[in-house]
Amino acid sequence: MNNSNKKHPDNTHWPLRTDGKIALITGAAGGLGQSFTRCLLDTGATVIVSGRRCEALKRLKSEFPDHSDRIHIVPMDVSDELSVTQAFDVMAARVGIPDVVVANAGVAISKKALNCTGDDWDSVVDTNLKGCWLVATEAARRLSGEGRRGSIIMISSILGHRAAGNVAPYAVAKAGVEQLTRVLALEWARYGIRVNALAPGYIETDLNRDFFATEPGQKMIHRIPQRRLGQPGDLCGPLLLLASELSNYMTGSTLVVDGGHLQSSL
């Protein structure tokens, strides 16, 4: 099996390095957070893992005993402005202001649009879009105040580019993340702060593995041109490119990592 199919590739010998960088990963305890944490730790970064579930963050840290001195837990609710501000205060005092920000926190609700309530809408949009806004602006405010450069990486989705049923709030929020990426890139280029997006296709995780083993799930996989789900490790190369100095002339861009799915039907 080649590295493109591995859940967790060996990142220790990659030419893309993040030595000396402080990276913040929001929503680190769920979904792709563990893989992003591994990727950045293995390539030299000091990593701040953040989220609402403190016990889950502690379990995440325990999975990297060889890097325990470079992984720090800072609780944060990305949808709460005060929580974001206070979390950045803690980071500044304990670790430093992150110069790589991975805006990964996200939630999803699977319902037909006619059955979605206002609370459903708010819970998804507040986390997936407003959360990106609050975290990115707080990071940029502090970096620019210190005259420092930085890279902000928004975790978007192919559902920000194409429509699918039963995920209206999620798809709308991710489309907003795409536009947010562009407008912030435009405004912050003068400060040396780059803003790019990473748009995964269907990536296999513990949350969706059972579904993709079913007949409907297998039919979805069949519509992916590469005929397979992505693995979390498939996102490491694009993530490292955006986090490293090799992407210094990239801002306002989206890297789509989907096995060609956008060229097919969702």
Rounded CA gap, 213 and 219, in Å? 10
Residue type, 227: R
Q: Is 198 in contact with 177 (CB distance < 8 Å)?
A: no
Long-range contacts of residues 1-5, Cβ cutoff 8 Å, at least 24 apart: 3/233, 4/231, 4/233, 4/234, 5/228, 5/231
Q: Give the active site residues.
A: 170
Rounded CA gap, 11 and 35, in Å? 11
Rounded CA gap, 202 and 100, in Å? 24
Rounded CA gap, 241 and 212, in Å? 29
| Neighbour order of strands in the sheet with 71-73 | 71-73, 46-49, 22-25, 100-103, 150-155, 193-200, 254-257
